[in-house]
Amino acid sequence: MLKLIVGTKGSGKTKTMIDMIDKAVKTTSGNIVVIEKCMKLTTEINHSARLVDVDEYGIVGADMLYGFVAGMLAGNYDITELFLDGILRITDHDMAAAAKVLNAIDKITSNIEVVVTVSADAADLPEDLKKFVI
């Protein structure tokens, strides 16, 4: 189940996601994974959530991100929540590539809550992503 937190830079997307992570830590019986670029959230999120920096694994672009996420899910069936901060930073600000990878991730995460921040105006999203905006 994919959910997008959308807004321009500085609109509070990451804060909203941090609040969702904190709530998930208190309520889930599974594992929570937070994927980001540059480890900005190290001191912001509860240590019970697994924080992963894509830069540590050389993840660049949408295809590598999809492979990374799919591999992570295949290797850990206990993941119940997956948070991804800043999809456009990982896809080099390529909205079409971000849309492609998000639709692919949605197909493999029907039993997992996936929350992604997108630094863009909701009106600028491709039509196939608008249904995921919360």
Which domain range does residue 15 map to? 2-121
Distance of CA 44 to the CA centre of its chain: 16
pLDDT attached to residue 43:
77
What is the CATH classification number for the domain harbouring 49?
A: 3.40.50.300
Q: Look up tokens 């912001």; give the residue.
A: 44
Q: Residue 91: pLDDT band by 50, 70, 90 thresholds?
A: very high
Is 13 strand, coil or helix?
helix
Give the model confidence (pLDDT) of 41-73 as tens digits. 777 888 899 999 999 999 999 999 999 999 999
Radius of gyration of the chain, Cα coordinates, nearest whole angstrom = 14
Query: H or E segment at 2?
Result: strand 2-7
Please give the mean pLDDT across all residues of the chain.
Answer: 94
In this model, does residue 23 exceed pLDDT 80? yes
Residue 130 forms part of a structural domain: no
- pTM, entire model: 0.93
Domains identified in the chain, total number? 1
Residue 133 forms part of a structural domain: no
Residue 51 forms part of a structural domain: yes
